[in-house]
Chain A
Amino acid sequence: DAKTTQPPSMDCAEGRAANLPCNHSTISGNEYVYWYRQIHSQGPQYIIHGLKNNETNEMASLIITEDRKSSTLILPHATLRDTAVYYCIVSLGGADGLTFGKGTHLIIQP
């Protein structure tokens, strides 16, 4: 079973920031938080990952709470192409297979 809990769906207006929450209250000290997204009928796309510090790259920002029990993925300026299912996954990284939950279906509204 997935070790994360995400809302099943969210809407966001185009051009606004999309904030996707994830709860991972049982995360262990050496597990990372990874975010992927899957656009319909495609393979998942890596977005970002982090351990305990906040992270930012060209796609998104990842905010991890101090107790590491939850995190938020932020897409700063959502576009219609960001409509996808977003998966929050905790993993040891490396040779560890990923356990996908049901994710959040993010719908960007024009």
Chain B
Amino acid sequence: GAVVSQHPSWVICKSGTSVKIECRSLDFQATTMFWYRQFPKQSLMLMATSNEGSKATYEQGVEKDKFLINHASLTLSTLTVTSAHPEDSSFYICSAATGVVWQETQYFGPGTRLLVL
């Protein structure tokens, strides 16, 4: 149980294009999903918290107009990197929270590797 998928697993795009990444909770519903980013040899950094049916909450320094998040259902959140540039190349990982109320656990997807040329 508690499986989270991401699609695509990797993507290469040209500078200036937009890329959409999907995050799905396969066997549970998640009111809250999270998006993280990981640069090479660094740890994961939280980008934003996504709540179903409401606007995402972005961490300081993360541009909300560049990283568009949509959490349209209890099993799907999407991250769109708009007008991607080489510095946006990174490993993007989502997670979904489930479990006992007030001590929910986050389960992570396998990640999406983005390379912007």
Which A residues fall within an 8 A CB radius of B? 32, 34, 36, 38, 41-46, 49, 51, 87, 92-95, 97-103
Which B residues fall within an 8 A CB radius of A? 2, 4, 6, 32, 34, 36, 43-46, 49, 51, 59, 91, 93, 95, 97, 99, 101-111, 113
Say yes or no: B46 contacts A97, CB within 8 Å: yes
Whole-angstrom distance between the alpha carbons of A41 and B90 in the complex?
11
Say yes or no: A44 contacts B97, CB within 8 Å: no
Say yes or no: A46 contacts B45, CB within 8 Å: no
A contact patch SS: loop
Say yes or no: B110 contacts A93, CB within 8 Å: no
Whole-angstrom distance between the alpha carbons of A42 and B36 in the complex?
13
Least Cβ–Cβ distance between B69 and chain A, in angstroms: 13
Say yes or no: B44 contacts A93, CB within 8 Å: no
* Contact flag A95-B32 (CB < 8 Å), given A42-B111, A43-B111: yes
Query: Within the complex, which residue of A43, A92, A101 is in contact with B108, where a contact is CB–CB below 8 Å?
Result: A43
